[in-house]
Amino acid sequence: VSPVASVKPTSIRVRMYNVGFGDCFLLTFRYPGGTERHMLIDYGTNAKAKGGLALDDLGLKIAADTGGKLAAVVLSHRHRDHIGGFDPDIGGTSIKGLQPDVVLRPWTEEPGVEESGDPAFKLRRDLATALRSAEDLASDLERAAGSDDRRSLRGRIGAFAARQLKNRHAVELLHELSEGGRGRYLSAGEDPGTSDALPGVRITVLGPPLPDVWPAIRRQRADDDEFWLRMRDTLPAALALNGAAGDDEPGAPAANVDVRIGPEAWLVDKLRREGLHSTLRVVLTLDKALNNTSLILLIEAAGRRLLFPGDAQIENWSYSLSGPGSSERLTRKLAALDLYKVGHHGSRNATPKLGLLPLWLRPGAKRVPVAMLSTLEGQYDEAYPVPAQNLVDRLLQPPLRLINTDTFPTDARVFADVEL
Amino acid sequence: MLEFITDLGEGEPVPSRTHRFTVVAQDPSVHVSNADPRVLTSVVDIPSERYLPGPRGGRFHVVDVDAVSGRVMSQSAMEDRTVPSVDAVARAAATGVFDAAARAQNVYVVAARTLSIFEKALGRRIPWSFPGHQLYLVPAAMQDAQAFYDPETNAILFGSFGGSADGTGRSYTSLSYDIVAHETTHAILDGMRHRFTEPGLPDQAAFHEALADIVALLSVFSMAEVPRRLLDREGAGSFMPDSLVSMESLQNNALFGLAEELGAADDEHGGDALRRSVTMEPGTAWKSDPFYREPHKLGEVLVACVARTLLQIWSGRLAKLHQQGWPISTQLAAEEGAKSAAHLLDMCIRAIDYTPPIEFQFEDFVDAIIAADKEVAPDDARGYRDTLIAVFASFGIEDPPDTRHDVRTPEGRLDYSALHLDELKNDPDEVFRFIWENAKPLEIDTTYYLAVERVEPARRVGPDGFVIYETAASYVQLLNGTVADLARLAEEQGEELVIPAGLDRTTALQIQGGGALIFDEFGRAKFHQRKSIFDWLRQSNRLAYLVDRGRKNTLGAYGFSEGAADAARFRLLHEPADVAAESW
């Protein structure tokens, strides 16, 4: 029985499951008369929390928590730590059984977007195509690295590359769930078309912006297919070559390099290590580009405001905070949030320091959001600590409040449960 | 080994102090004029030396290695390009094919010219920041539209980008004059002021970027071919139209055009920045704009000041010629521009000795330029100093009244009785002794750690033809404690160290200070440019900035050298400003 359009939720319950380094949120909208509607936002992990729930078991828990039905599934972007659970061999089958009414994904996920012939969409096509090439590069690199042991540089490259893989089975399941007009492929400003599935819930899409509207999103080679193809020509081979000796310590014999002992050999040896570092940076660039495809959703219901930005980086945020998507009205709303899902597991580039914090900390603010952080320290990469300690420290200072999965006890049953 | 023979003399070859080479004046996409499709090149002189394959000379060593795969050009291929049996760039310009030999020569000669501009201005050799004498130059290190100085590998790595798979149409940053000069300047400044990458106020890191851009801009401009082309792109006239003489039109036509072209080759840094600098209008709005809290963007303000000063000097010189009523030849106007640029560049470089070695702020730069220039050219007949002071002031950067002290006429006389002249000119221990004995008149607190780090000679030739000998010494002061300890110390001195809200008072903090002392040819101190370690307002600002940006080391302490890998020190400078501003 579908509630009439005038029906509105009276309260919201937010569960943050402890998936470790990943995201999995269940939003429950309660309607008058005791009915509930559920929205799942992301379902994946890169590293399970100690004692935390395994993803496949979590699928069963979600099924139980939703009472067998999902109104909406949101995939913020396709990184493993957000999508992994949708693999039918993991938790996808459980989710499929919940028959979601709508599936919200960023515009880059629309099947065939990279083949669209419309010249007006060239920039979108370029970006989507480049992202696919970048993912191909990641899978080549993962294979060439042959290790994800983060004690070596090669392993760090391998671990990073593994997180960029296509997650084909999970994507296929989401495609299947999207059939019959249930799929939404969204960009900033677009109506998500969720009013039937979630009556009385207003969802505003703040990101990702389209590349033709907001060039910042194309920064750092994000849409430079040539670049990724060229990297694919050189990097995996070089990684295999340089990593052949099995370690990347100075003094390790350089494979297959014909250079006489002397100052040139010294430089070549140093650069070999530098080369591995720059490969790591290239994979980071790719990570960032994919993060920037994240949906940023402002969800308003029951007099509450929730902000879920996925892993959006500054270039994505800026469209709505200071670019064409910004407005005084939006600023007022962002200044009065009830819940903020901390972007990108607390990394240093995903919670705008000037764009958001001053809004929340302005004198006389009536509402201050509770921040929810789903993360696991020491899992990202040693050179780029996530979560950033500064950010965590700041969010812990009153009047802000922080709920951080990383501080949860080692008990698979524990999850954060917030009533709004 | 090849003997190099100059073409200066008739008959008997004369051994020369310089070698003459062709370089790409901007980059290979810039042509002589719209009518002449040859690549714009310039012939420059660099100090003569013996070359080994690479080329490899006394200070630079070109190694053509692909940094990603570690593949090196074969030794025999490198033998072939032992300079200068053939001027590879001249040959490339004639054929239009810039091969590996042309890249190797171009990168070598531009780097060597940049170093020689510094050495000429300062009258001495300048060491690298790392032990060793030869900086590696890698002309095609990676496939990326960037180049960077990497003190960890003692190298500058140049990337290449674009073009098709077989390599045709590729752009090489090693063929862009400004990029090579920019990165070489990072290496040179790191050798002169290695503490400018320490955690400090944003000005300090900004100065690295700013000076690199200033040297790039002015050294490109000081090759007369460059302004010549900017004034006459069609390659048509030999006289300058009157309409071009004004400062505005020089800005719009010459300088802005150049900034656009320099930017085109390097989208990651440099490009946009230079364009913004050249068009930045005087004002002080940048001081309250949070984006200008970021070193990368902040540097643009200093570049803007210098670019505007160049325009004023140049247009002033042209106006003088114009007053005489004759039409000005384009060549002459270009040469005036090149001379103005070279002169201004000299002024900027000479100033470095007069800057404090630590805790640098923008005001110190204008102060240092003026002080250094006054010593060389006391008269300032052309009013360059006044122009410069006015331009910097128009951007809100003013000579601070109380940091530099003329110590020639101090109230308490300086005591040299326990010192020796020769030692004072080159021995840090002797300079320390000088400070120790004269702590009171110099107003230096010697209670805490103080170390003299550099004592270096400087020789400059003034416009009157006489040589000015100076000795430039620099010292640093460091003091470690908890935030609470240091706040208490400030209180004891009747001042306050402002502790940022939320900062744990047991957090470890290092405060820094230091100064530069300039001695004249008789070993008498002339100037003392200092950043007192007990300037608590500055220390409060620095602490607030470091805490705000989260610049602490792995132990959670603020203000110490972060122990970041050397390479990272410079890469951090290149983060886009908006990203840096929004980051934690």
> Is there a contact between B582 and A397 if contact means CB atoms under 8 Å apart?
no
Tokens encoding A34: 């005791």
- Packed helices A122-145 and A263-291: angle between N→C axes, nearest 10 degrees: 130
CA A229/CA B165 separation, integer angstroms: 10
Q: CB B583 to CB A314 under 8 A?
A: yes
- % of chain B residues with pLDDT over 70: 87
Contact A294, A205 (CB under 8 A): no
| Per-residue model confidence (pLDDT) at position B575 | 58
Taking an 8 Å cut-off on Cβ atoms, the answer to whether B70 and A268 are in contact is yes
CA distance A355 to chain B (A): 7
The CA distances from residue B184 to B109, B306, B482, in Å, are 11, 19, 38
String of DSSP letters for B384-415: HHHHHHHHHHHTT----TTSEEETTS-SSPP-
Would the CB atoms of A397 and B71 count as touching at under 8 Å? no
Provide the pLDDT for residue B268: 47
User: Comparing B481 with B14, which gets the higher pLDDT?
Assistant: B481
Q: What is the 3-state secondary structure (H, E, C) of B437-493?
A: HCHHHHCCCCCCCEEEEEEEEEEEECCCCCEEEEEEEEEEEEEEEEHHHHHHHHHHC
Looking at residue B233, its amino acid is R
- Look at residue B564 and tell me whether its pLDDT is greater than 80: no
Say how far residue A79 (Cα) sits from the centre of its chain. 6
Tokens coding B545? 């900035």
In angstroms, the CA B443 to CA B402 distance is: 12
Cβ–Cβ below 8 Å for B63 and A318: no
d(CA A214, CA A222): 13
pLDDT over 90 percentage in chain B: 46
Helix (H, G, I), strand (E, B) or coil at B558: strand
Q: Is the Cβ–Cβ distance between B62 and B263 less than 8 Å? A: no
- What's the token pair of residue B115? 């170093």
Gap between the terminal Cα atoms of chain B = 55
Query: How many angstroms away from the CA of A55 is the closest CA of chain B?
Result: 31
On whether the CB atoms of residues B83 and B153 are closer than 8 A, the answer is no
pLDDT above 90 for B555: no
Q: Does B319 touch chain A (CB under 8 A)?
A: no
B70–A254 CB contact, under 8 Å: yes
Per the model's pLDDT, the better-predicted residue between A79 and B328 turns out to be: A79
Interface test with B, best of A258, A271, A359 (most B CBs within 10 A): A271
Tens digits of residue pLDDT in B392-404: 999 999 876 666 6
What does the pLDDT read at residue A171? 95
What is the secondary structure of A198-220 as a DSSP string? Answer: STT-EEEEEEPPPTTT-GGGGTT
Angle of the B362-376 helix axis to the B202-221 helix axis, nearest 10: 50
User: Taking chain A, what is the end-to-end CA distance rounded to the nearest angstrom?
Assistant: 25
* Res B467 pLDDT > 70: yes
pLDDT at B181 over 90: yes
Report the C-alpha gap between A68 and A87 in whole angstroms. Answer: 19
B222-274 residue pLDDT tens: 999 999 998 888 877 788 777 777 888 888 878 888 888 876 655 444 457 77
Residue B511 to residue B359: CA distance in whole angstroms: 10
Residue B96, classified by CB atoms within 10 Å of its CB into exposed (0-12), middle (13-18) or buried (19+), is exposed
Name the band, by pLDDT with cuts 50, 70 and 90, for residue B323: confident
H helix runs in A208-262, sequence order: 225-242
Residues 530-569 of B with CB under 8 A from A: 550, 567
Kindly give the pairing relationship between strand B525-531 and strand A11-17. Answer: unpaired
Is residue B14 scored above 60 in pLDDT?
no
**Does residue B529 carry a pLDDT above 50?**
yes
Q: Cα Rg for chain A, rounded, in angstroms? A: 22
Residue A308 has which token pair?
């879920």
- The answer to whether A274 contacts B67, with C-beta atoms less than 8 Å apart, is yes
What distance in Å separates the CA atoms of residue B98 and residue B93, rounded to the nearest whole number?
7
- What is the model's pLDDT at position B1? 43
Dist. CA A214–CA A217, nearest whole Å: 6
| ipTM, 2 dp | 0.80
**Chain A residues whose beta carbon lies within 8 Å of the beta carbon of residue B150:** 274
How many CB atoms within 10 Å of residue B391?
22
pLDDT bin (cut points 50, 70, 90) of residue B78 is very low
Question: How distant is the Cα of B140 from the closest Cα of chain A, in angstroms?
Answer: 13
pLDDT, tens digit, 9 for 90 and up, residues B119-159: 999 999 999 999 899 999 999 888 777 888 988 889 999 98
pLDDT tens digits, A210-253: 998 898 888 767 788 888 887 888 788 778 766 544 445 444 44
Given a contact cutoff of 8 angstroms between Cβ atoms, the answer to whether B127 and B135 are in contact is no
Whether the CA torsion B427, B429, B433, B439 is positive or negative: it is positive
**Which residues of chain A register pLDDT less than 50?**
1, 244-247, 249-256
Taking contacts as CB-CB distances below 8 angstroms, the residues of chain B near A354 are: 290, 581-582
* Burial (CB count <10 Å: 0-12, 13-18, 19+), residue B365: buried
B167 touches chain A (CB under 8 A): no
Where residue B8 falls among pLDDT bands split at 50, 70, 90? very low
For residue B142, give the chain A residue with the closest CA: A275
pLDDT at residue B9 is higher than 70? no
Report the interhelical angle of A225-242 vs A153-162 (nearest 10°): 140
- Cα–Cα–Cα angle for A303, A304, A310, rounded to 5 degrees: 150
Reported as type and span, the H/E element at residue B20 is strand B18-24
Token pair, residue B63, equals 């190694």
Q: Which of A315, A349, A397 sits opposite B502 (nearest CB)?
A: A397
Residue A224 phi, psi (nearest 5)? -95, 85
pLDDT of residue B505: 93
